[in-house]
Structure 1
Amino acid sequence: MAYLEFRNIQLKFDERMIFSGFNLAIERHEKVLFCAPSGRGKTSLVKMLLGFVAPDRGEILVDGTKLTGITVNQIRSKISYVSQDADIPKGIVRDVFEEVFKFEANRHLSYNVERLQNYWLDAMSLPKDTLEKNVDTLSGGERQRLALILGILLDRDIWVLDEITTGLDLELKTKMVDLVLGYDKTILVVSHDDIYKNQGLREVSW
């Protein structure tokens, strides 16, 4: 059995068919690039995996567990979702990170603010004083990189990366992609960016 499965998915928005009889199986630790044209449901597909969008027909399974209203929180706990909107909590960056790791679901994780300061900020080309800034004062690109750091540190089994290189220069894109794809995780990438080409990802289009 595959690690992630979309079985016979049907989804319509405003009478427009987005998916009809869609099937996809993804193995554990596989890296997949969704490269369908705009408007064909790439983001809808990952939002179905997260339980934010319900298919009209079909089922989604994660590690053998069917996604339902009862299992959705269990399945979300396996997923780090980073989007181009970089939706991270408001407040001082240092406090935001510390608060996230106080959540019951994250208390078992090792969080080291010194490593965040001395390694991760440099790895993502962020200024040393970033931790003392308010999230609202950061640029979109800075928030994207912080959201990605947070997603990595949460150490979930599945990473869903939705247009995370949007608005970044080529050097930063290359740095982020090289870093992310070096991890042995199940990684789903939604992107129009050619930076992911020839990186060993399985390309899925429809």
Structure 2
Amino acid sequence: MESIIEFKNVSKEFEGNVVLKDLNLSVKKGEIFVLVGPSGSGKTTSLKMINGLIEPTDGDIYFNEKRIKDYDIQKLRWQTGYVLQQIALFPTMTVKENIDVIPDMLGWDKQRRSQRVDELLNEVDLDPEQYRDRMPSELSGGQQQRIGIIRALAAEPDIMLMDEPFSALDPISRASLQDLVIQLHQKLGNTVVFVTHNMKEALKVGNRIAVMHEGKLIQCDTPEEIQKHPKNQFVKDFFDETNDEVYTQTLETLIDGGYYLEAQPADEMLPSLDIATSLSEVFDLLAEQEAFTIKREQKIIGTIKRSDVFRFLSQEE
């Protein structure tokens, strides 16, 4: 598969501190490429070099076989979507105005921009009639980040950069938006470079993962290979540390902690789960469902809500 981004012998120093050391990697066109590692590993510095926010001290970075330094940086950034942890929607602009800001700069006509806004809002299950004229302050954190994602896609960029995009969100919203990135990628076939400090997130969203530590690339491979064959003890320990055991617990754990409401009468319209269901399965369901009933031996014994699970996970994490 053809590469869209290449790092060749890239190093970076800040005031005498080496933050990247002889980095060599390539991002293939049409993949989700994840940079993962602990704080200070150099992953965000690497990401910011792709759109020229940081320049390397040594080495070269190539975008479509042309050195980044040889581009008109402003035009390059228009070809690059960017999603930050701090969402960063313009607070005095409507949802529509936030989404079409780059297409407007690129000279798209009004009809084309409006059509693109509505198309993208529908992609993330936000009704255009209901949301296009809202202000960012009227949206939840998860909704704001959805707008941030489609704003980055609005001008049909060649590549999308995502820097810890979901780390400030609650676990339910984070799982839902991870699914969204995967779904949009499958539909659009776009190239995504995704930075995270969480191996669990990296394993879920990445086609390939680059594990970084202290400015060096330790291992770059598919999620399956990294799980089966970690290159060294650091990779193994990092994977084990972020593969949180809380998600292997069951609904019974929550019930023992008092996190459920008795259903009197039982709401037969809600989906039901057995008390032995793992929290990992519960977590996936709650991305779409506000509440469900719990069964023991085929009998409904209670109802549990999204807020109950989030409260439990917040205490455990």
Confirm or deny a common fold (TM above 0.5). Answer: yes
2:208 is matched by which residue type in structure 1?
R
3-state SS, counterpart of residue 40 of structure 2: coil
1:203 is matched by which residue type in structure 2?
I
- 2-structure distance, mates of 1:14, 1:202: 32
Aligned-pair identity in percent equals 24
Which is richer in helix? 2
Kept in 1, the 8 Å contact 2:33–2:192? The answer is: yes
1:56 Cα offset (Å): 0.8
- 2-structure distance, mates of 1:84, 1:157: 21
1:72 Cα offset (Å): 2.1
1:1-206 counterparts in 2 under 5 A? 2-68=3-69, 70-90=71-91, 91-104=93-106, 106=108, 111-112=114-115, 113-115=117-119, 119-120=122-123, 122=125, 129-136=130-137, 138-182=139-183, 183=185, 184-193=189-198, 194-206=200-212
24-33 or 67-76, larger mean C-alpha shift:
67-76
Kept in 1, the 8 Å contact 2:102–2:155? The answer is: no
- Segments of 5+ residues of structure 1 without an aligned counterpart are none
1:22 Cα offset (Å): 1.0
Kept in 2, the 8 Å contact 1:35–1:191? The answer is: yes
Query: Which protein has greater RCO, CA pairs closer than 8 Å, 6+ apart?
Result: 1
User: Structure 1 residues 105 and 50, CA, compared in 2 at 3 Å: closer, same or farther?
Assistant: farther
Kept in 2, the 8 Å contact 1:106–1:154? The answer is: no
1:96 is matched by which residue type in structure 2?
N
- Segments of 5+ residues of structure 2 without an aligned counterpart are 213-317
- 1-structure distance, mates of 2:132, 2:140: 14
- 2-structure distance, mates of 1:2, 1:101: 26
Larger Rg: 2
The TM-score, its normalising length taken from structure 2, stands at 0.56
User: Structure 1 residues 163 and 2, CA, compared in 2 at 3 Å: closer, same or farther?
Assistant: same
User: Structure 1 residues 106 and 85, CA, compared in 2 at 3 Å: closer, same or farther?
Assistant: farther
1:107 Cα offset (Å): 5.0
1:148 Cα offset (Å): 0.7
User: Structure 1 residues 156 and 127, CA, compared in 2 at 3 Å: closer, same or farther?
Assistant: closer
Kept in 2, the 8 Å contact 1:177–1:196? The answer is: no
User: Structure 1 residues 110 and 130, CA, compared in 2 at 3 Å: closer, same or farther?
Assistant: closer
Q: Across the two proteins, how many residue pairs are aligned to each other?
A: 203
3-state SS, counterpart of residue 152 of structure 2: helix
Kept in 1, the 8 Å contact 2:87–2:144? The answer is: yes
1:106 Cα offset (Å): 4.8
1:95 is matched by which residue type in structure 2?
E
Kept in 1, the 8 Å contact 2:36–2:202? The answer is: no
- 2-structure distance, mates of 1:115, 1:29: 21
- 2-structure distance, mates of 1:76, 1:98: 15
User: Structure 1 residues 32 and 114, CA, compared in 2 at 3 Å: closer, same or farther?
Assistant: closer
